[in-house]
């Protein structure tokens, strides 16, 4: 295996960074496989719910798909809780960071804030402010985040729901994660 010549980045050469760029491109090509693995990992974890976090995520995505939402929206639903395993206190931000280069700014914002917006359903039972979401009342995506939580997230804990299998969503994941279209300098748009 070829490696760079440096032990400090400041000492790297053009050839070193070209090698790393090539290696990083190969690594990035496996992103969807790693995301699928992370999603499958949600099958274990938080006890107490009637469904696993994986089933919750699949059920959320299935509801969005059956409601006619586009691939970016469905994938955002599928991925919205992927951070639960590694970032239980900031899972929304972790999931949003993964999605940011690949979904439109509205969906990035919704996923980033959905954890706070979900407090509306239970915050008053656990000593939190159920209306904490209201600090964003004037934000352009406020109503969209309420809809995301109400129609798809908080509804998706039903063990009797006929969810589509995870494999059904793999082509959508591959489509959405094919290229980071929402980075500054890319032609689609820049991140807001």
72 CA to centre of own chain: 10
The contacts of residue 104 (CB under 8 Å, 6+ apart) are 72, 182, 189
Q: What is the pLDDT of residue 186?
A: 55
Residue 4 lies in a domain: no
Residue 187 lies in a domain: no
Q: Rounded to 5 degrees, what are φ and ψ at 58?
A: -65, -40
The domain tally of the chain equals 1
Q: Tell me the HSE value of 144 on the side-chain side, using a 13 A CA sphere.
A: 16
Q: What is the pLDDT of residue 190?
A: 38
The residue assigned the tokens 């980071």 is 180
Residue 183 lies in a domain: no
Residue 184 lies in a domain: no
Which range marks the domain in which residue 110 is found?
A: 13-176
Residue 144 lies in a domain: yes
Residue 5 lies in a domain: no
Q: How far apart are CA 78 and CA 85, in angstroms?
A: 15
Q: How far apart are CA 98 and CA 28, in angstroms?
A: 12
Q: What is the pLDDT of residue 172?
A: 98
61: helix, strand or coil: helix
- Per-10-residue mean pLDDT, the chain, length 192: 92 92 89 95 85 96 98 98 90 96 98 97 97 98 98 97 98 96 63 40
160: helix, strand or coil: coil
The CATH number given to whatever domain includes residue 129 is: 1.10.3210.10
Residue 192 lies in a domain: no
Q: What is the pLDDT of residue 31?
A: 94
- Give the residue among 182, 189, 100, 92 at the shortest CA–CA distance from 136: 92
Q: What is the pLDDT of residue 44?
A: 80
């Amino acid at each position: 295996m070829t490696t760079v010549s440096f032990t400090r980045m400041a000492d790297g050469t053009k050839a070193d960074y070209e090698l790393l760029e090539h290696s990083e491109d190969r690594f990035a090509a496996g992103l969807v496989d790693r995301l699928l693995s992370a999603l499958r990992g949600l099958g274990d974890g938080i006890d107490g719910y009637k469904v696993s976090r994986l089933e919750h995520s699949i059920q959320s995505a299935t509801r969005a798909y059956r409601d006619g939402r586009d691939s970016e929206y469905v994938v955002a639903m599928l991925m919205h809780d992927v951070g639960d395993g590694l970032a239980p206190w900031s899972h929304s931000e972790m999931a949003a960071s993964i999605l940011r280069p690949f979904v439109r700014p509205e969906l990035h914002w919704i996923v980033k804030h959905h954890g706070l917006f979900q407090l509306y359903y239970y915050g008053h039972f656990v000593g939190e402010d159920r209306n904490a979401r209201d600090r964003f009342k004037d934000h352009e995506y406020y109503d969209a985040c309420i809809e995301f939580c109400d129609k798809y997230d908080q509804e998706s804990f039903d063990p009797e729901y006929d969810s589509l299998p995870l494999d059904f969503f793999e082509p959508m994941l591959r489509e959405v994660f094919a290229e980071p279209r929402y980075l500054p300098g890319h032609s689609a748009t820049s991140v807001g």
